[in-house]
Structure 1
Amino acid sequence: MSTAVRFEHVSKTFTTSTGKTLDALRDVSLTVDAGDIHAIVGYSGAGKSTLLRTVNALERPTSGRVVVGDQVVSELSGPALGRARQRIGMVFQQFNLLRSRTVYKNIAYPLRLAGVPAAEILDRVEELLDFVGLTDKALAYPSQLSGGQKQRVGIARALANRPDVLISDEATSALDPQTTREVLDLLRRVNRERGVTILVVTHEMDVVRAIADKVAVMQSGAVVERGTVYDVFAHPQHPTTRRFVGSVLHHLPGADTIERIRAVHTGRLVQLHVENRASNDPFLSRVARRHDIDLNIVYGGVDELQSRLFGSLTVELLGTEENVDRAIAELRESAELTDLEGAR
């Protein structure tokens, strides 16, 4: 698989007006494969937007390199940088539309800057208006559009020069949930139908879950975890990642919830990690029968992501201590298990 964007040991240090330094990026190395939708998530101040802005050299790394395709964009300037930026579309959180220009002229604007002939501009703008579903809004002004429509114009404008890479900086954070879904569906179409690699910066794990193939989690200017969306959701390793995943998935009870469960359920509590299984073996009931114990599911659930199942079940085991110990040992052979006995 070819590489669309590559960050090589990228660091960025800002100097404040008082002379203090701020390390916005710290030795970030990350690869974005061509054709992927790759999400970068992090809390405010994590450095994700700064990293995104190095892709089109709106920010220059203090050290390291940013490579887009076969060009070291971080080292380009002048006309060469202008040409490289034409291959990199950008979608903004606040739309950044020209208020005094119609939808048609907003989309045509980057084409005029690139010196595209008028006849070709007409054809391309009409094609993009149809693609984003705004043919009837060609002569409308931004003030006459809804937030979702404005973002559709922003996406069409970003696609005007037929970019290889589209970067999206919190493009849905100003939208309501229904409009967010519509914009995400459009971005997915951009990726699937036009083969555009998309790099998405967001703090919303629902956005990652909805459209991304891979995700990188940032904290304090560094990447602390990365992987496929399924692996990161199903097996979050870093505390920051676990907090993000926990904000949209509620499979694992917190400490307070465990104490409330224990007030009612006095048996042995364990957590079973659930994943897509190649077998339909009913191992829970089989283990319960074999070791003469009772099972009671007291918390948890199962979700689907990228057509695969995952989740966690908190289970109460009731029986003699010896039988419960044997049951736990056998359950570990079929599933990832955490014994909550030590959390008392």
Structure 2
Amino acid sequence: MTSAIRFDGVGKTFTTRGRSFEALRDVNLEVARGEIFGIVGYSGAGKSTLLRTVNALERPTTGRVLVEGREISALTGRELGQARQRIGMIFQPFNLLQSRNVYQNIAYPLRLAGLTQAEALDRAEELLEFVGLSDKALQYPNRLSGGQKQRVGVARALANRPDILLSDEATSALDPQTTGEVLDLLRRVNDEYGVTILLVTHEIDVIRDLAHQVAVMEDGRVVEHGSVYDVFSAPRTPVARRFVSSVLHREPSAETLAGLREVHRGRLVQLHVQNRETNDPFLSRIARHHGVDFNIVYGGVSELQSRLFGSLTVELFGDHASVDAAIAELRETTSVVEVDAREVSRVR
């Protein structure tokens, strides 16, 4: 894997009025060139602070941040300015210049980089077409919708043909439909330009819909990371499970489980469903083999990155020994969680 970004033991401590706060604690991550990498966490987890170390808006107290092999946290002056030109950034509040029209907002970083007015105009026209705003070139930001403003923000971030694009909660202020449009645009940026995208968000559905890899942060630490499929299909940490359950609703809450128990008197088990290379109907086959009936009472199966995963809560009927035997055989095929209204115990 060729790294576009690497965090080596990154820590960040802020000191205010004699009191210190650790925003980042020993963060070690690699973002491969050309991938979309998401960082998710609740407010205060440290994700935005980590993002801002990539273009040295924040410098780590300990550790190193390497961008395309260079320790950006050690650069200053002209070298830092040149490195930042290869890193675009889009923000939640858009950060557009209100006194300049759309074309001027996009051309501004180009003129700062030394392009002539004609060169800046050509590049701005190219980007306006890319983001679908050619007809808005002379409009001012106060005449644009939130989604249009963010499209201008994306175009401006791409002005200097960056290798890396940073996105700091770029969709948090947008409605669901507009969020989808912006995510489609970022996907095109990655597909057509090959730009590495590092995004931070507290919206786990943004990670699900866009990212290839994800890191989950809590209290300044990365507590879990991996492919989006792996983290979504089998989250290992409590914070990751909370995020995933908030959008997938695969497993019943304690209240829902208590309600299910009042209606369904059989043995309840949860079956973990993953992408399978066989069409074996294992649940019905095993139930028939042991003379057990079953009823699916909760859960579902989702598709992510062209692979299936999910969880089904199943009620099993039959004599005690037959149900025990069926559960034992199910465990040979998939992960099984026996469910009781009073407790849930995981059995592999």
TM-score by length of 2: 0.97
- Partner residue in 1 for 2:162: 163
Match of 2:207 in 1: 208
Deviations 1:244-292 (A, max 9, x none): 0011011101122111111111111110001111111111111111101
Q: CA deviation at 1:201?
A: 0.4
How far apart are residue 119 of structure 1 and its match? 2.2
The whole-number CA distance in structure 2 between the counterparts of 1:307 and 1:115 is: 44
SS at match of 2:291: coil
Q: CA deviation at 1:340?
A: 1.7
User: Is 1:282 aligned to 2:281, yes or no?
Assistant: yes
Which whole-Å deviations, capped at 9, do the CAs of 1:117-137 have from their partners, x for residues lacking one?
Answer: 222211111100100011111
Match of 1:128 in 2: 127
Alignment correspondent of 2:301: 302
Q: How far did residue 171 of structure 1 move?
A: 0.2
Secondary structure (helix, strand or coil) at the match of 1:301 reads strand
For 1:144, the equivalent position in structure 2 comes to 143
Query: Partners in 2 of 1:235 and 1:137 — Cα distance?
Result: 45
Match of 1:38 in 2: 37
Matches of 2:299 and 2:245 in 1, distance apart? 12
Aligned pairs, how many?
343
Supply the distance in 2 between the matched residues of 1:250 and 1:184 (Cα, whole angstroms): 23
Distance 1:101 1:326 in 2: 72
In structure 2, what is the equivalent of residue 75 of structure 1? Answer: 74
What secondary structure does 2:271 align onto? strand
Identity of paired residues, percent? 69
Q: CA deviation at 1:94?
A: 0.4
Secondary structure at the counterpart of residue 334 of structure 1: coil
Q: Give 1:343 shift.
A: 2.0
CA deviation profile, 1:14-33 (whole Å, cap 9, x unmatched): 0122x110000001011000
2:312 matched residue in structure 1: 313
Q: Distance in 1 between matches of 2:43 and 2:286?
A: 46
Once the two structures are superposed, residues 9-67 of structure 1 have per-residue CA deviations (whole angstroms, 9 ceiling, x without a partner) of 000000122x1100000010110000110000000000000000000000010011000
Alignment partner of 1:14 is 2:14:
yes
User: Structure 2 stretches of 5 or more lacking a match?
Assistant: none
Q: Secondary structure at the match of 1:109?
A: helix
1:2 has 2:5 as partner: no
| RMSD (Å) for aligned C-alpha atoms | 0.9
- Per mean C-alpha deviation after superposition, the further-off stretch among 162-171 and 110-119 is 110-119
How far apart are the structure 2 equivalents of 1:240 and 1:70?
32
What letter matches 1:291 in structure 2? H
Match of 1:95, SS? coil
Report the equivalent of 2:240.
Answer: 241
